[in-house]
Structure 1
Amino acid sequence: VRAARDAATGSVVRPSTFNDRHFKCTTAGTSGGSEPAWDTTIGNTTADGSVVWTTEQALTIEVTVDTVTDSGVFTVVYSGDAPDALLTGGLLTFIGGHNANVPPIEVKTWVLSTRTITLFLPAPFNVGGITDSFLGLEDGSGNILLEGGDDLLLESGDVLKINAGCAKDRLACISFDNIYNAQAEWYVPGTKVLFRTPNAQ
């Protein structure tokens, strides 16, 4: 957040210390000489010079791995309140650890109450000490000779980022302020409508 800058209505800023929120300009103007004390309650406003910012749920969260069930299910350390629907279907990117250079992986489910993430596909590298078969070699008798070990683990403390998912419906497009780019497939008649005939009665 830069001090003494012009802000247009609809522009968005993040605080210098990420707090699971971003702030949308709802009254244009010039910001104050220093970063304000942000009101983190969603829907509340923060005055900043002549600018008014409205608090919104951030569409990206940063968390660290806590406990691991397997390479596709683990819990994270997270003190925010991102609802289940926000991150389900989103993209998870590993920032640290041995999975840091792999492409983003889609989130199957996010459960806020237990801080549990389930991925559609497992992380490429072993998670939490459970070695996947593709990390080993077969000995010719059908047995897997496990290789790698601790140097290939996704460990507690690894940092990752999750971007919000999209339900691909009209309400999601509105919530992302992107209705003008909607493909509007939900308005296309299905096959039952195309082959429907008048009621003969």
Structure 2
Amino acid sequence: MKSLSTAMNSHLEGEVLTLATCWALTRQDGTELFFTDFDEDLVVGGDTYLAASGYSRSAIANSSSFTVDNLDIIGNLQSDIISEADLFSGLYDYAEVRIFMVNWQDLSMGTIPLRKGWLGEISATDGAFTAELRGLSQALLHEIGGVYAPLCSADLGDTKCGVDVEALTETDSVASVTSRGIFTLTSYNGAEGVLTGGVLTFTSGANAGRSAEIRNWVQADKTVTLYLEMPFEIAEGDAVSFFPGCDKRYATCRDVYSNHLNFRGFPHIPGTDALLESGND
């Protein structure tokens, strides 16, 4: 429930409104950014909301159902505030956003809360970005609890799995580049497909410190294909580290990693075909 000050309620009942919209953004790394659609900077709660990086938004609609309330925020890309490189390198993934309105003629009236949520899908074209703001009901869509499935629910090397991926990690460098998602390695010669599902991390170059999951590994020509392209260009000589993948099957866990005691799947549960079988006459 939104509670407004007496002064703000009186202002809203008047014939002339002097309202401006502000939004406060907090990234996962703790960085805070403040913007307004007013034509001058506003100081609200001790924070300066910048007018130079104004934005526009789609209409805000509320629903009494459990559907996710979404809206789009459109803003300008500016190299000293929000850059395209920062957006696509993941710095704004899941950033928290608060949107509210103020009376720019009298900021002491307080705020009118409009929406709180987290950034979802982000796109950038022609010097502007569009960010989807996902409401609080988005959390209700997350699966909670375990699921019975034949495949393991853990990821190789996490706390549930327990495999020491550092002992399996290899290092190499990029030999040639096809795109941000396809390149060849210099010397690694692991078996066909052994890296499929593994994780590769760049340790030098423009993508240093960023990781990506490996979609496919071809031993013959040492080609790595990533599921998602890296945010920045890959260059010959970029150093990388990587470890193998796991297809999450019981046999792989037992025979390849000797880790079947930590297997988090249910390989012996009858499948759908067994459920649909009918008895013999």
Tell me by how many angstroms 1:169 deviates: 1.1
Contact 2:200 2:214 in 1 (8 A): yes
Contact 2:189 2:222 in 1 (8 A): no
1:182 matches 2:254? no
Counterpart pick for 2:185 among 54, 69, 76:
76
Cα deviation, 1:32-54, whole Å, max 9, x if unaligned, reads xxxxxxxxxxxxxxxxxxxxxxx
Partners of 1:110 and 1:61 lie apart in 2 by 14
Letter in 1 for 2:189: D
Letter in 2 for 1:119: L
Tell me by how many angstroms 1:89 deviates: 1.0
Partners of 2:212 and 2:273 lie apart in 1 by 35
Cα deviation, 1:109-133, whole Å, max 9, x if unaligned, reads 111110100011111112xxxxxxx
Partners of 2:266 and 2:208 lie apart in 1 by 35
Partner of 2:71 in structure 1? none
Q: In structure 2, the residue corresponding to 1:85 is in which secondary structure?
A: coil
Q: In structure 1, the residue corresponding to 2:193 is in which secondary structure?
A: helix
Counterpart mapping for 1:82-101 below 5 A? 82-101=190-209
Partner of 2:253 in structure 1? 173
Where relative contact order (Cα < 8 A, 6+ residues apart) is larger, the structure is: 1
Partners of 2:206 and 2:269 lie apart in 1 by 44
TM-score relative to the length of structure 1: 0.53
Letter in 1 for 2:269: V
Flag structure 2 segments of 5+ consecutive residues without an equivalent. 1-166
Q: In structure 1, the residue corresponding to 2:209 is in which secondary structure?
A: coil
Identity across matched positions, percent: 36
Partners of 1:84 and 1:60 lie apart in 2 by 17
Letter in 2 for 1:63: D
Letter in 2 for 1:170: Y
Cα deviation, 1:37-84, whole Å, max 9, x if unaligned, reads xxxxxxxxxxxxxxxxxxxxx722211011111111111101x43112
Q: In structure 2, the residue corresponding to 1:185 is in which secondary structure?
A: coil
Partner of 2:236 in structure 1? 156
Partner of 1:117 in structure 2? 224
Question: Which has the larger Rg?
Answer: 2
Contact 2:192 2:219 in 1 (8 A): yes
Contact 2:174 2:238 in 1 (8 A): yes
Letter in 2 for 1:173: C
Counterpart pick for 1:105 among 209, 212, 215:
212
Partners of 1:88 and 1:111 lie apart in 2 by 9
TM-score relative to the length of structure 2: 0.39
Contact 1:64 1:159 in 2 (8 A): yes
Partners of 1:166 and 1:93 lie apart in 2 by 17
Tell me by how many angstroms 1:185 deviates: 2.9
Contact 1:84 1:109 in 2 (8 A): no
Q: In structure 2, the residue corresponding to 1:107 is in which secondary structure?
A: strand
Partners of 2:202 and 2:176 lie apart in 1 by 16
Counterpart mapping for 1:138-153 below 5 A? none
Cα deviation, 1:146-180, whole Å, max 9, x if unaligned, reads xxxxxxxx211100011110011122111112100
Contact 2:181 2:228 in 1 (8 A): yes
